Amino acid sequence: MIPYDIVIIGGGPAGLAAAVSARKNGIDKILILERDRELGGILNQCIHNGFGLHTFKEELTGPEYAQRFIDQVLEMGIEYKLNTMVMDISPERVVTAMSREDGMYQIQAGAVILAMGCRERPRGALNIPGYRPAGIFSAGTAQRLVNIEGYMPGREVVILGSGDIGLIMARRMTLEGAKVKVVAELMPYSGGLKRNIVQCLDDFNIPLKLSHTVVDIEGKEHITAVTIAQVDSHNKPIPGTEERYTCDTLLLSCGLIPENELSNKAGIRMNPVTNGPVVTESLETNIPGIFACGNVLHVHDLVDYVSEEAGRAGAAAARYVQAKGIIEHSDEVVKLIATDGVRYTVPVTIDLKNMADLQTVHFRVGNVYKNCYVSVYYNDKRMTHTRKKIMAPGEMEKIILQKKNLLKEEDLKTITIKIEAE
């Protein structure tokens, strides 16, 4: 069995940033396992700009952003294996992997960092009626076809779902000469960033129809038309609101799901809201020595936040390895509670003894809120009450907790984050 201090599963932005951070924190034997033929993950097909404003203080394309971290990995001499599939992770951190070159083999890791990213929600989960003709693609598949393979999926396009990839592909297909007829969104709000709605739809006069869904697909061999309809408050189509659009392409952009089959098999406790692992302030799962970061933990809106979180995971894994797994914990951990409009928090618990001086807590809201407040309660006492002009599910929010303030509180058991009207 091959020993490594830290094994990182995934060579996308999270895995690369975690590896660089672990090396900077004094770990030498690091191995990245990547199932694709190159490092960089999904960023390789994201040729639009808008990346890196937080991390590098300049605007980069996806491949440029990835290359910054790939260069650091190469300069630091961090080992990586491509075209390698991880089959299993045991609670004892034995990683079973296989590739065409090496066959099947096992690695004993001092710590494991999960950085597998996320995948698109499949059509089967959407219950769209009609035949199964050619011409229906997930937005990410279409993005790869256009940006990497050099193929155009079609010329007349309807998009279902207003996630960021769908919005970006509306612009991309338009720039390539296609006609994007409409973007339909089931929810009464968009799932994407506000800037993407403006830059990708408004700037190109592409209509966005909220509270609409596809109710029929025409075409047996190849898609010829779709019908969309308005939905009521229970997401049921309203008779008489149908609109038919002729098209040769339907793109689905209906959400992302953390890639957590390996995590489930390893016995890692999952958060039913995020579909990612439940983690502590150190981004450690319920299995000691296994950490998670990036989109496998919860779906982020900016890759800069992925890199920042992965850096913390790399540093925490390095501490774990250097302490040989013997880390003192507080007798009582503080539980974070998401309620009243807040869907979840990452992390879920905070160990006051091990937390940093400043602890970032990420969360998302479950609806569009205007002129409201984000309130933070220590036990039952309201500590902060921050006014927000607007918050939406497509934008990740965060608060910063100060260790010195938490330590002042006697018998602190819970920190509650909620949305309040005033």
pLDDT in tens, 16-47: 999 999 999 999 999 999 999 999 999 999 99
- Give percent of the chain with pLDDT exceeding 70: 98
Alpha-carbon distance 209 to 418, whole Å? 30
- pLDDT score of 173 more than 90: yes
- pLDDT score of 325 more than 90: no
> Among residues 136, 137, 162, 140, which one has the least CA distance to residue 216?
136
Instruction: For residues 305-329, give the mean pLDDT.
Output: 92
pLDDT tens-place string over residues 88-101: 999 999 999 999 99
Mean pLDDT over all residues of the chain? Answer: 93
Q: Residue 75: what are its φ and ψ, rounded to 5°? A: -60, -35
Phi-psi region of 211 (alpha: psi -120 to 50; beta: other; left: phi over 0): left
pTM: 0.93
Instruction: For residues 275-279, give the mean pLDDT.
Output: 96
pLDDT tens-place string over residues 365-374: 999 999 999 9
pLDDT tens-place string over residues 335-358: 999 999 999 999 999 999 889 999
Which residues touch 415 (CB under 8 Å, ≥6 apart)? 334, 335, 336, 337, 350, 376, 377, 378, 401, 406
Q: Please report, as a single letter, which amino acid is at residue 166.
A: G
**Chain center to CA of 344:** 14
- pLDDT score of 126 more than 70: no
Instruction: For residues 415-422, give the mean pLDDT.
Output: 92
pLDDT value at residue 124: 59
- pLDDT score of 62 more than 70: yes
- pLDDT score of 125 more than 60: no
Which residues touch 56 (CB under 8 Å, ≥6 apart)? 65, 68
pLDDT value at residue 421: 87
Q: How confident is the model at residue 148 (pLDDT cuts 50, 70, 90)?
A: very high
Q: Residue 389: what are its φ and ψ, rounded to 5°? A: -65, -45
β-bridge pairing 349-350 and 334-338: antiparallel
